Copies of this chain bind each other. A is one copy, B any other.
């Protein structure tokens, strides 16, 4: 067998274990009965261990070493060797004993965070978070970095991005958004969202979500829609990309936008070819690029004036009272801007501020310029500076997200980058599809999704995010696109 064939076989074996592990994870949150949790953790642990062993074994290293010198590979094969080679080197650089020790500490830390959030007592979590930061620094040392330890961690989520670049993106973003938000809130006329109030039947909301997924082109024959507490999209394997959703009954919007958001992720993954799976490139270019696809469908489509010209009637099919509400009123009602404490509930304009403050804290923790003990103060000060509000409790502030309880540093920026990438793609899309709005007004997403498939989805993880956005837009990541998008849209909505 050739080295390339052995390499492909090896990836296929990893892929099957990963698929089984993905199903276990999906089931855990959708259908698994509560009492099954302790044993499920053991089964997941075993599959993760087996997949890790296969992903770090000497044979794979030998294949990679040889294939790195092989000039006859296809472009995709080369990308596979690059991406999987980097992951291999990183995984091998971390001692198994460290991984194990950290896992145990993560589990304890997670428990402490749950309790701290429940009782609104940061001090319960503080010693654990200190430990987690220590592990994150240690991990960065194992991985290695040139300038900032944060760079080593960012690599997992945004390959190639550095702390310095992030800062250079955030500065103009702040400059563009802080005064605009102030203007919006003091001089703008907020839309009337009262028409959305009500008590909605969750079964009908579920049918509406399904309808919306149909409209965007989500393939139910290669997917499923299930109920969960915290929505996510899970790729079990080729032709098996499942979305999940929740159905708060006080408004039709959370479940509708939840479905569009997860549907956006799912369209990406449903487009992966067999060859991408075979080469273990069946993932997004980065977390940020992945998030750009969910935001594109949720915001650039779902919160657009054009789409509501079509979607008002769809909504009214499920909830007849909306037949007498104008598309324009609904468009405006789902574009209310309001500073709030909780990141996951934030609107398009305020969302990025939630990320900036997290990034600044993370970078400071990693370089040692911020102490964990000082986090609640830092947090509240930043909330005041950016959004003009101070959380009433730490549970609604520094303790709100799960990420730090596992010591995941470098994850949050992806959410912001998703907004920026999506806003930067949009002008390129409009150049290619000058009649985009007209098609959205007919509820026809085929042109848009076709474009995304051709320019984003079909590449899987073959390009790094900076290369991909350069190919698409002709320039590197540039936050001005997002600032312009937000200013234009919300100046109109708020009649500035």
Contacts and interface: CB of A to CB of B under 8 A. Distances in A.
Interface of A: 13, 16-17, 19-20, 23-24, 27, 31-36, 38-40, 42-43, 46-47, 219-224, 226, 236-240, 242
A24 B33 contact: no
Q: Which 4 residue pairs spanning A and B have beta carbons closest together?
A: A36-B240, A35-B239, A35-B222, A16-B46
Contact of A40 (B24, B46, B223, B240): B240
A43 B26 CA distance: 16
Given A33-B220, A224-B31, A46 B238 contact: no
Contacts of A33: 220-224, 239-240, 242
A220 B223 CA distance: 26
A240 B19 contact: no
A43 B223 contact: no
A46 B23 CA distance: 15
Contacts of A39: 19, 237-240
B46 A13 contact: yes
Nearest to A19: B43
Nearest to A28: B23
Interface centre among A31, A223, A238 (most CB of B within 10 A): A31
A21 to B, nearest CB: 8
Given A20-B20, A23-B24, A31-B224, A236 B36 contact: yes
Nearest to A31: B224
Contacts of A20: 20, 24, 43, 46-47
Contact of A237 (B34, B43, B221, B226): B43
A34 B238 CA distance: 11
Contact of A27 (B16, B23, B47, B219): B23
Contacts of A34: 221
B46 A240 contact: no
13 contacts: A16-B46, A16-B47, A20-B20, A23-B24, A31-B31, A33-B220, A33-B221, A33-B239, A33-B240, A35-B222, A35-B239, A36-B237, A39-B240
A43 B13 CA distance: 9
Contact of A240 (B32, B222, B239): B32
